[in-house]
Amino acid sequence: MLETITNTLNIPKSRKITFTVPDNIPLGQAEVILIIRPSLEEEQKISEDESLFKLSGTLKNSKTFCGDSILLQKQMRQEWNE
């Protein structure tokens, strides 16, 4: 079972945060992945070029987009013509 929980909190100077999970999460060992996303104010300060640069390399290990990039583009364009 995968559960996504979204919460907004302030990171204190101590850099320690606590998080209470809902009662429907089973007890016991679990893998927890923490994703830190800047506040909307911070995100708006990022230019379009910087925003695009942040995406650079994100598909590098993608199973969908691996292999010959030219062949992949041709296949995708052929789907449009079908």
pLDDT for 7 equals: 82
What is the pLDDT, as a whole number, of residue 47? 67
pTM, full prediction = 0.41
| 69 pLDDT more than 70 | yes
Reading the block at residue 10, the tokens are 């302030």
pLDDT, tens digit (0-9, with 9 covering 90-100), for 4-22: 888 888 889 999 998 888 8
Contact 40, 52 (CB under 8 A): no
Distance CA(26)–CA(22), nearest Å, equals 9
